[in-house]
Structure 1
Amino acid sequence: MQPMLTFIVITIGLALALHLLLFGITKLFGKGGEGTLGDIRSAIGASLPTPLGVAIWVIASTLIAQKLVEHFAWSPIDLESSEGESVITIDILISMIRTGLLVIITTWFVARGVRAFSSILNNWHHSKDTIELDTTAIQALASVGVVITWVVGFIVTLQSLGFNMNAVITIGGIGGAGIAFASKDVVANFFGGIVVMLNRPFKIGDHIVSGKIDGKVMRIGLYATYLETENGDTLYVPNSIFNNSEILTVNVT
């Protein structure tokens, strides 16, 4: 019992010390500074500490759980049953859970980082006249980046937990194809928004004419673009329209 208690106390002490060290580094490192490097430091300081702190305690708690399992012999040491078939012991299960949680935490950090860097770009847009950025496009692309990050993280987590990824991907592909067919207009508008953001035939503030569409660009979203008409009304235009129509930019701001 004494060695187990010693291990638990040391593990909790190390986790607490690392957490306090992380807090101190964040206070110094997360203050940022002047220039681009300072902005990057601020983004890292805003996105890293919380996930890393959670990761420290996940590792500590799972190590303690494995020590308890070993001490009370809650699972066999052998990885095979008497019939020679592979079995998952509690110790292995805890390791798999720890790996899955760490993957989720890493995904969380990357998603927070994407949001933090998009905020930096927005700040550059508002504070530096020499940098011309479409803030709506930045936010939209950041949202896409976050979604992709979580999808990849979810797949890696399932794989780390021992799921058959071929079956998961196959089922996901069939389901995705069905959803895409049922919502083909939504998909067309989504990719139309990506094309508009990449090709930039117009930007926020431009006055455009495309067929019967006439107005000032107020917002460019992933699904639709919002225009202000001469009467002051808001015109909601699905982005897929711009992929199949000529666009005349009559007033570039």
Structure 2
Amino acid sequence: MTNTNLIPFSFEGKSVRVIKQGDTPHWVLVDVCDVLEIRNSRDASSRLDDDEKGVGITDTLGGPQEVAIINESGLWSLVLTSRKPEAKRFKKWLTAEVIPAIRKTGGYMVATPEETPEQLALRAMQVLQATVDRQKVQIADMQEDVSALDRIAKADGSLCITEAAKALQMRPKDLFDYLSRNNWIYRRPGGKTWLGYAQRCNTGDLEHKVHTVLKADGSEKVCERVLVTAQGLRKLAKLLPSRLQAVA
């Protein structure tokens, strides 16, 4: 597995390299062992579960090199079982600086011995740009949600379920399924018309609209349709397991 997303750290003058595979950081095992004064990294690896260790590839001056790596679970397994005085300082450094930095920005700006100031600055700019790009996506998503919620908040009339689904940015079928499973609407045995439960109508979440339909033979048929009120729509925006749930 080729991986060039290397984040160099320095703990009390010792190199601690982190390789990011996707969004998951992995620590180079030999570096962790050096900090914790564990002489045999293979013995340390043998004490870890299979899902806590693996192999990564990083670039060195001599070309790509295969290194043993451990995930966050494996890291804590070694740190918390170490009795060395360095382990306590290492743990505090990890929790206070390194892991938060990785999770927030994907980088930690410490120059390696081989890195020039210009290279460090370039790496910092790349991390900053990646962070800005992620924030732009988050802002765009928030704007979409705010726009949808604004339409819902300003709704002052009742909507049929299909129209309510459109306002909630979901498929009508999904909204019908949700309402029927959560005791908002029901059908009489053998019937095709959806009706609202009395409790939902009494609380003002639903209402019924009665209208007449002219049949082919000239007679009139009375029909009833359930509608979602503005209050019910706002309530559904908070209850539904959709991307609008963030406002609940």
- TM (normalized to structure 2)? 0.25
Q: Which of the two has greater strand per residue?
A: 2
Q: Which of the two has greater helix per residue?
A: 1
